[in-house]
């Protein structure tokens, strides 16, 4: 069985949503201040979105790597503290408050990272030299592939690996060795950037642990088609001899999407993985446990059955359900890791067999209050239908904020919510927090936007929208201290404070 989660609570907030004068939130001073604010509010968990290198549309769920960290999150202030930049190196450009400006921030931060690398090569911060060498050696199993992939991608102006010359695309040894020689300096720089990321991450995690705050991560079950792992991992994905996907991931048609959803991610060759004892997945899971105290696995249902869509299909309707690795996979993980520090995202089309698998392996599932009020007393999202091994959310990163959701809800659909909560509709987000925190679910989580009672302008992601997502940030203008004081009271009254 998985280790039970003690009765506790936390806040969902992307790292990029933190305040910063450099365009997007990062792992530096604002992250430490946020940890301290959570601790003061008696929160046990800081739940984040994925922190790997952001892919298409700045999406953390389309990362270029499942092992590497997003270097946009490296704190310039902490580079100064480490002697890798001087105070005068920090840019004076001003960015808009409240918006994660990826396009504006990336060239600014890239320039700082190049300068930090130049300083390091010239002898700055000599005390870090041994640490860098140790990191490069200890993490070579994933780092070498990532640094090579990143260097090639950079040399080809960001072109996806599927468009690289054939010899590189299929990783012919001679072509790979030639790239390593030609791009040696760039490869070393990408290794160094990952060292910086992991150094700052480790410091933040220690800062959080010392204050009783745990980190809850997020792992998409599938990797992006344009990712280091899709390019470098052999015998992991269902590719043909030309390293092209034979089938891709998605979900079938449903009420919300008449054509289904064609995600396009490569699918796993579970038979090949089984023959290795699930080695690649075990390394991935252990890597996540290195970063987080608990990890949410997105699209858990694919471990039971996944929707396989033929490569080249126009819509997801052409797919079919294919069995996943099921319980033996989790048995292998548990044996190797000594436990299962995971939370199952079991939303969407969930069958009895998916529920049985989650219960058999002992993982807590998710319940979202915005899905609870359809008039069915057996609705699994209603609090009276929870079992304690559950994480309840007011909403997720894919939902509108609860205030925005309520504003858009037709009056007929508002009626059952009013009846259930016996209220007039004011401050619905806070009423949802009270409902979640008072439930039997062992874990209660609310996005910061709901704690701040913000509307649709603060929505983080709209599924199906290719651009404009992941941009919200909180600012000094938001009543953070007042709201977190209220959350502290709710947490203490509901018995969720671990301190």
In a domain, 469, yes or no: yes
* Per-residue pLDDT at 424: 84
Q: CA-to-CA distance for 415 and 436, rounded, in angstroms?
A: 19
Q: Which domain holds residue 105?
A: 8-125+213-493
In a domain, 203, yes or no: no
What are the respective helix, strand and coil percentages of the chain, to the nearest 5? 45, 15, 40
* Per-residue pLDDT at 423: 87
* Per-residue pLDDT at 425: 81
* Per-residue pLDDT at 2: 66
Q: CA-to-CA distance for 394 and 431, rounded, in angstroms?
A: 10
* Per-residue pLDDT at 1: 55
Give me the torsion for CA of 201, 202, 204, 207, rounded to 10°: 180
DSSP state, residue 147? H
* Per-residue pLDDT at 183: 98
CATH number of the domain bearing residue 78: 3.20.20.80
Q: CA-to-CA distance for 260 and 253, rounded, in angstroms?
A: 4
Q: Which residues are catalytic?
A: 298, 345, 398
Q: CA-to-CA distance for 235 and 242, rounded, in angstroms?
A: 13
What pTM, to 2 d.p., does this model score? 0.97
Q: CA-to-CA distance for 120 and 132, rounded, in angstroms?
A: 10
The answer to whether 407 touches 460, Cβ cutoff 8 Å, is no
Number of domains in the chain: 1
In a domain, 179, yes or no: no
In a domain, 190, yes or no: no
In a domain, 199, yes or no: no
Q: CA-to-CA distance for 24 and 16, rounded, in angstroms?
A: 5
Residue 270: enclosing H or E segment and its boundaries?
helix 270-275
The answer to whether 321 touches 354, Cβ cutoff 8 Å, is no
* Per-residue pLDDT at 466: 83
In a domain, 192, yes or no: no
The answer to whether 340 touches 295, Cβ cutoff 8 Å, is no
Residue 150: enclosing H or E segment and its boundaries?
helix 140-155
* Per-residue pLDDT at 172: 97
The answer to whether 88 touches 115, Cβ cutoff 8 Å, is no
pLDDT along the chain (499 residues), means of 10: 86 98 97 98 98 96 97 98 97 92 97 98 97 98 98 98 97 98 98 98 98 98 97 94 95 83 96 97 98 97 97 95 98 97 92 96 97 95 97 97 97 94 90 98 98 98 90 96 98 91
Residue 332: enclosing H or E segment and its boundaries?
helix 326-337
Q: What are the Cα distances from residue 211, in Å, to 7, 162, 303, 483, 494?
A: 18, 45, 35, 20, 21
Q: What are the Cα distances from residue 292, in Å, to 131, 206, 376?
A: 22, 11, 36
* Per-residue pLDDT at 256: 66
In a domain, 172, yes or no: no
- Bridge partners of 351, per DSSP, are none
* Per-residue pLDDT at 426: 86
In a domain, 386, yes or no: yes
């Amino acid at each position: 069985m998985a280790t039970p989660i003690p009765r506790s609570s936390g806040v969902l907030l992307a790292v990029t949503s933190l305040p910063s004068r450099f365009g997007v939130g990062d792992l530096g001073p604002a992250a430490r201040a946020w940890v301290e604010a959570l601790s003061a509010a008696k929160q046990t968990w800081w739940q984040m979105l994925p922190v790997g290198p952001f892919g298409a549309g700045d999406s953390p769920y389309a990362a270029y790597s499942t092992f590497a960290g997003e270097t946009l999150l490296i704190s310039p202030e902490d580079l100064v503290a480490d002697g890798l930049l001087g105070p005068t190196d920090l840019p004076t450009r001003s960015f808009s408050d409240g918006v994660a400006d990826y396009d504006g921030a990336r060239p600014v931060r890239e320039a700082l990272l190049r300068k930090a690398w130049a300083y390091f090569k010239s002898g700055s911060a000599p005390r870090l030299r041994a640490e860098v060498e140790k990191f490069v050696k200890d993490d070579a199993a994933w780092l070498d592939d990532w640094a090579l992939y990143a260097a090639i991608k950079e040399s080809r102006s960001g072109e996806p690996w599927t468009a690289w010359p054939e010899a590189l695309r299929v990783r012919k040894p001679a072509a790979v060795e030639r790239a390593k020689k030609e791009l040696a300096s760039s490869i070393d720089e990408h290794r160094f950037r990952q060292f910086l990321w992991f150094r700052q991450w480790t410091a933040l995690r220690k800062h959080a642990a010392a204050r009783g705050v745990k980190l809850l991560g997020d792992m998409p079950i599938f990797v992006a088609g344009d990712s280091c792992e899709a390019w470098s991992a052999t015998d992991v994905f269902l590719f043909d001899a030309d390293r092209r996907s034979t089938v891709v991931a998605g979900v079938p048609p449903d009420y919300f999407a008449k054509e289904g959803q064609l995600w396009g991610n490569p699918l796993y060759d579970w038979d090949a993985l089984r023959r290795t004892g699930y080695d690649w997945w075990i390394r991935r899971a252990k890597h996540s446990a290195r970063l987080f105290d608990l990890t949410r696995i997105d699209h858990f249902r694919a471990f039971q059955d996944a929707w396989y869509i033929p490569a080249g299909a126009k819509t997801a309707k052409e797919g079919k359900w294919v069995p996943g690795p099921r319980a033996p996979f989790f048995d292998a993980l548990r044996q190797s890791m000594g436990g299962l520090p995971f939370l199952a995202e079991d939303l969407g089309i969930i069958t009895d067999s998916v529920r049985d698998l989650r219960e058999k392996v002992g993982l807590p599932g998710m319940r979202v209050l915005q899905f609870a009020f359809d008039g069915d007393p057996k609705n699994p999202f209603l609090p009276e239908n929870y079992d304690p091994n559950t994480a309840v959310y007011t909403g997720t990163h894919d939902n509108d904020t609860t205030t925005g959701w309520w504003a858009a809800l037709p009056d007929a659909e508002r009626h059952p919510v009013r009846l259930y909560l016996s209220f007039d509709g004011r401050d619905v987000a806070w009423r949802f927090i009270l409902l979640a925190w008072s439930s039997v679910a062992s874990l209660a989580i609310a996005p910061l936007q709901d704690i701040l009672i913000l509307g649709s302008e603060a929505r983080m992601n709209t599924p199906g929208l290719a651009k404009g997502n992941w941009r919200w940030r909180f600012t000094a203008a938001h009543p953070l201290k007042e709201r977190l004081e209220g959350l502290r009271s709710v947490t203490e009254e509901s018995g969720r404070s671990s301190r």
